Amino acid sequence: MLASVVAFPTLGSAENAGKPIVIARDMDLNSLDPSRAFCDTCQIYLSSVYDRLVDLSPDNKSIVPMLAKEWSANGDAKVLTFKLDPKAKFSDGSPVEAKDVKWTLERLRNIKGGMAYLLDNVKSIETPDKETVVLTLTAPNSDFVGSLTAPYAGIINSDAVAEHGGDAGAEASSKDNAEQWLLANSAGAGPYVLESYSPNHELRLKRNDNYWGRKPPVEKFVFLQTKDAVSQTQ
């Protein structure tokens, strides 16, 4: 899968270090905002730039820790508690905290973008401390934690985006105006950050020098827009 080639620091090799990998593809980007993006290329971008609470194992058979180092469910599986990894930090060096998770998920739901349905089953989101997030569901859902592995559930630096027009309140669909800022800036905790984006032409990602996880071997990725299938395979 192309997304795995881009998103995960385990891929690539030492010989590619320092050299950009150029990928020609028909970019179908509708947005670079995690709460609004809904496309194939969006998934590649979001997976590379925005770490999630949990991830899928390389063989896609199990759910593994990402920003959350552990999680648990109560007896009827309606209350899920996530404990954040204290080492996790955003690309600007600030820590990933429970408030960021709450803000991100509420913004995703309230902007009412294409993936807002992921949170249809969430009754409440509580943050008893900086490293704990408690999600209460309207009904038991054994698949819910798995849905949080989706690229669209990437956690956003709430302070950074709120400073530039982001809103997670009930009227976010009309009040939030951070989408334009997110076309030129990223605010995630993933292995890459946005370097530049020229719509219908080029998308550039560069390595996040503040990445809290394993350093990815590939320094830069460049996506070039093309509708030519031959060019895409060269």
Q: Which tens digit of pLDDT belongs to each residue from 142-164?
A: 899 999 999 999 999 999 999 99
> Could you list the residue range(s) of the whole structural domain that residue 163 is in?
2-233
Number of folded domains that form the chain: 1
Q: What's the Cα-to-Cα distance from 30 to each of 3, 61, 153, rounded to whole Å?
A: 17, 30, 17
- Sign of the CA dihedral with 11 first, then 90, 24, and 55 last: positive
User: Cβ(186)–Cβ(91) under 8 Å?
Assistant: yes
Report d(CA 173, CA 214) in Å as an integer.
36
Report d(CA 37, CA 228) in Å as an integer.
24
User: Cβ(23)–Cβ(233) under 8 Å?
Assistant: no
Query: Which segment, 4-8, 39-43, 63-67, is predicted with the most confidence on average?
Result: 63-67
pLDDT of residue 26: 85
Average pLDDT over residues 134-139: 98
pLDDT for residue 75 is more than 60: yes
Exposure string over 119-152, b if 16+ CB within 10 A, otherwise e: bebbeebebeeebbbbbebeeebeebbebbbebb
Q: What's the Cα-to-Cα distance from 152 to each of 46, 107, 158, rounded to whole Å?
A: 7, 12, 15
Average pLDDT, the chain: 91
Which residue from 40, 71, 31, 65 is spatially nearest to 51, judged by alpha carbons? Answer: 65
End-to-end Cα separation, the chain, in angstroms: 17
pTM above 0.75, yes or no: yes
pLDDT for residue 4 is more than 60: no
Report d(CA 26, CA 215) in Å as an integer.
28
Report d(CA 57, CA 66) in Å as an integer.
10
Q: Identify which has the larger pLDDT, 228 or 157.
A: 157
Structure token pair of residue 180: 């334009």
Q: Which CATH number characterizes residue 36's domain? A: 3.40.190.10
